[in-house]
Structure 1
Amino acid sequence: MERHVQRLLNRVSVASITVATIIFLFLVLQTPKTCIPSNSAEKPHLKFPTSTCDFSPRQHLPLEKKNARLWSSRSWQNQVSSYTSLFLQIRHMGLLHNHSKALCVSAGAGHEVMALFQMGLVDVTGVELVDSPPLVSRADPHNLPFFDRVFDFSYSGHLAEALFPARFAAEMERTVRRDGVCVVAVEECGEEEVREIVGLFKKSKFVDVANVTLTGTKMTRIIVRVGASH
């Protein structure tokens, strides 16, 4: 009986191996459908490859042309204009000048950096976790790669989104000279929230607060002067 079972199992094993071998050979020898040359009669206007074997070259734009296209868009120009309005208000307060050495922290694609350049500032640095040349360089906002007190002016619109807000604010403060200013824009808030934000800047004194509209969003702009305790 055991021999009969053993013979049966051997037959099943041989049959399984044979079937698996046939399937394997079929898969190896069959030409994948995705690699069949595309039919010349297909519509010529299709932009996407018709198969995974379509290696036709894609147009590659140099960085300069990509930036030119981006910067000429209405969306980009509107956002830059919004930042310009914000910075002009600060200039009218006597806190920002063309000779000011400015830093934009968590600058995104660089709208605020361009706004400052267009206002006449010649020394503007933008940093973000992901760089956007030539306006924004790569750097960790929680550990800025600059010496102490090298900037006159520092701005960020992303303090509220920081992983460690206190560290973020301390780095902005550290890199700004005595009597320089740090400016942050946060979601529109009340007096209590403003006090909490100002409290993050341990070595600075409150200067001014105002509700503003920035890139179409209602926000609160807060200014502190570095070098004075609360």
Structure 2
Amino acid sequence: MATSTVRSPPAIDRRAQRLATPVAIVLAAIATLSLLCLLRHASTYCLPSSQLTISLAPFPRTSCDAASRRVVPPDRRLAKLQASPRWRRRTASLSASVFPSLRGLGLLAAPSRVLCLAAGAGHAVDAFRAAGTGDVTGVDLIDFPPLVRRAHPHCLPFSDGAFDLVFSDDPSAIPGTLFPSRLVAEVERAVRRDGGIALAVDREIDTAAVAALFKRSRVVDVKDATLDGSQVNFRPTIRH
């Protein structure tokens, strides 16, 4: 009758088993301390505070440092921009060299409904309002409250004929868009019959190439203007 013998584990295995328990205790203690440290930093840096300040450290000390940035209210941010020399120059240039020609063509009046396309921070919106136009809407790919709301130029969120004038003082509005013909079609849809479209175009771009994009409008004037050092053409058209 065969008998089996059970061998005792080697001495090295018995030593490893004895070390496993204290090592596990140490690792659990380290994990607990790390968690407590994270919770402490989260309460220090991540929770909202009424006295948030901008961090002066060259690199973030923790992943929560971004929460310490001061959020500037839109009205205060706009007031700071309006006080800048560049904003004032742009407004003065529009009021002096662009708006009078639009009024002379009968495309701009105090009660006009104006859409500012590619409005950026809203300097054209502000200039129209300062000149006495009350109903002005600014749109761009990125909103910039309180003057500019977000809207895609290829699919404007406005009904047909919603505006008397569509305006843009950004020379890259047409050449910078993905589908210029689609943008122009949306502009023509959004402006009323006999309404106006005035778009700034770089002087190096051929007038005929721009005019060919408009299928339901005709060019009535080409106006040279200098906006903040940039020489552009304003090309008003009238929708048939």
Q: Given the two structures, how large is their TM-score scaled by the length of structure 2?
A: 0.71
Structure 1 alignment gaps of length 5 or more: 1-13, 15-23, 36-45
Take 1:169 and 1:55, find their aligned partners in 2: how far apart are those partners? 41
Q: Is the 8 A contact 1:83 1:111 kept in 2?
A: no
Assess, with a 3 A threshold, how the Cα gap between structure 1 residues 195 and 54 changes in structure 2: closer, same or farther: closer
1:88 positional shift:
2.6
Assess, with a 3 A threshold, how the Cα gap between structure 1 residues 105 and 48 changes in structure 2: closer, same or farther: same
1:56 positional shift:
9.1
Do structure 1's residue 133 and structure 2's residue 133 form an aligned pair? no
Do structure 1's residue 68 and structure 2's residue 96 form an aligned pair? no
Q: Is the 8 A contact 1:208 1:224 kept in 2?
A: yes
Structure 1, residues 103-153: CA drift from partner, whole Å, max 9, x if none? 111111111111111110011111111111111111111100111111111
Take 1:63 and 1:113, find their aligned partners in 2: how far apart are those partners? 15
Structure 1, residues 81-112: CA drift from partner, whole Å, max 9, x if none? 22223223322333211111111111111111
Equivalent position amino acid for 1:219 in 2:
V
Structure 1, residues 22-46: CA drift from partner, whole Å, max 9, x if none? xx99x989999xx9xxxxxxxxxx9
SS for the counterpart of 1:208 is coil
Take 1:92 and 1:226, find their aligned partners in 2: how far apart are those partners? 17
Take 2:164 and 2:139, find their aligned partners in 1: how far apart are those partners? 16
Q: Is the 8 A contact 1:84 1:115 kept in 2?
A: yes
Task: Identify the residue that residue 201 of structure 1 maps to in structure 2.
Answer: 214
Aligned residue among 175, 179, 197 for 2:194? 179
Do structure 1's residue 95 and structure 2's residue 107 form an aligned pair? yes
1:57 positional shift:
4.6
Quick check: 181-190 or 116-125, which moved more?
Answer: 181-190
Assess, with a 3 A threshold, how the Cα gap between structure 1 residues 56 and 127 changes in structure 2: closer, same or farther: closer
Assess, with a 3 A threshold, how the Cα gap between structure 1 residues 136 and 56 changes in structure 2: closer, same or farther: closer
Take 2:99 and 2:144, find their aligned partners in 1: how far apart are those partners? 21
Q: Is the 8 A contact 1:84 1:112 kept in 2?
A: no
Assess, with a 3 A threshold, how the Cα gap between structure 1 residues 54 and 178 changes in structure 2: closer, same or farther: closer
Percent identical across equivalent pairs?
A: 38
Take 1:87 and 1:207, find their aligned partners in 2: how far apart are those partners? 15
Assess, with a 3 A threshold, how the Cα gap between structure 1 residues 162 and 60 changes in structure 2: closer, same or farther: closer
RMSD: 3.6
Assess, with a 3 A threshold, how the Cα gap between structure 1 residues 205 and 67 changes in structure 2: closer, same or farther: same
Aligned residue among 148, 151, 157 for 1:145? 157
1:60 positional shift:
3.4
Q: How many residues align?
A: 206
Q: Given the two structures, how large is their TM-score scaled by the length of structure 1?
A: 0.74
Structure 1, residues 51-86: CA drift from partner, whole Å, max 9, x if none? 338799544332222222222222222222222232
1:212 positional shift:
1.6
Q: Is the 8 A contact 1:83 1:215 kept in 2?
A: no
Larger gyration radius, structure 1 or structure 2 = 2
Task: Identify the residue that residue 113 of structure 1 maps to in structure 2.
Answer: 125
Quick check: 181-190 or 115-124, which moved more?
Answer: 181-190
Assess, with a 3 A threshold, how the Cα gap between structure 1 residues 28 and 126 changes in structure 2: closer, same or farther: same
Structure 2 alignment gaps of length 5 or more: 1-15, 17-26, 42-53
Take 2:159 and 2:61, find their aligned partners in 1: how far apart are those partners? 54
Task: Identify the residue that residue 56 of structure 2 maps to in structure 1.
Answer: 48
Take 2:225 and 2:167, find their aligned partners in 1: how far apart are those partners? 15
